[in-house]
Chains A and B, each alone.
Chain A
Amino acid sequence: MPAKVLVAKPGLDGHDRGAKMVARALRDAGFEVIYTGIRQQPAYIARIAAQEDVDIVGLSILSGAHLSMTKKTIDALRQAGANDVHVIVGGTVPTGDTSKLLAMGVSDVFPTGTTLEELVTRCKALVATSPEV
Chain B
Amino acid sequence: MARCKRPIDELIAEAFQGSEFALGRLLSLIEDGGAAADLISSHVFPYTGRARVIGITGAPGAGKSTLNNALVKELRTGDIRVAVLAVDPTSPYSGGAILGDRVRMASHVGDSKVFIRSVATRGHLGGLALSIPQAVRVLDAVGFDWIIIETVGVGQVELAISDTADTTIVVVNPGWGDDVQAAKAGLLEIADLFVINKADRAGAEQTKLDLQQMIELKTPTPTWQPPILMTVAIQGMGIGDVAANALRHHHWMEDSGRLVEQRDRTLWLEVENILTQRCIGKVRKQVQQTRSRSLRASFADRQLDPIKIANEIVDLVD
Contact = CB atoms under 8 A, between A and B. Distances in A.
B304 interface: no
B172 to A, nearest CB: 26
Interface stretch (B17-25, B140-148, B218-226): B17-25
B109 A48 contact: yes
Interface in A1-42: 1-4, 23-24, 26-37, 40
Nearest to B26: A53
B22 A81 contact: yes
Contact of B4 (A26, A28, A50, A130): A130
A44 B116 CA distance: 12
B132 to A, nearest CB: 15
Interface residues of A, number: 37
A30 B117 contact: no
B134 to A, nearest CB: 15
A22 to B, nearest CB: 11
Contact of A32 (B1, B24, B99, B106): B99
Contact of A34 (B21, B31, B118): B118
Given A3-B1, A130-B2, A130-B4, A32 B96 contact: yes
B99 A50 contact: no
A51 B98 CA distance: 16
Contacts of A28: 91, 93-94, 96
A30 B109 contact: no
A130 B28 CA distance: 17
A67 interface: no
A94 to B, nearest CB: 30
B11 to A, nearest CB: 11
B103 A2 contact: no
A84 interface: yes
B107 to A, nearest CB: 11
A65 interface: no
A80 B20 CA distance: 8
Contacts of B28: 4, 53
Interface in B298-314: none
A41 to B, nearest CB: 8
Nearest to B4: A84
Nearest to B106: A37
A40 B31 CA distance: 27
A34 B99 contact: yes
Most buried by B among A36, A51, A129: A51
B21 A24 contact: no
B102 interface: yes
A36 B104 CA distance: 9
Nearest to A35: B100
A128 interface: yes
B216 to A, nearest CB: 42
B257 interface: no
A75 B161 CA distance: 39
Contacts of B118: 32, 34, 52
B49 interface: no
A80 to B, nearest CB: 5
B98 A55 contact: no
A82 B21 contact: yes
A119 interface: no
Given A36-B102, A80-B21, A53 B27 contact: yes
24 contacts: A1-B32, A2-B122, A27-B91, A28-B91, A30-B95, A30-B96, A31-B96, A32-B90, A33-B97, A34-B102, A35-B100, A35-B102, A37-B102, A40-B109, A44-B110, A47-B20, A48-B102, A50-B20, A51-B117, A53-B21, A53-B27, A81-B22, A127-B2, A130-B4
Minimum-distance CB pairs A-B, first 6: A53-B24, A27-B96, A81-B21, A50-B21, A37-B103, A44-B109
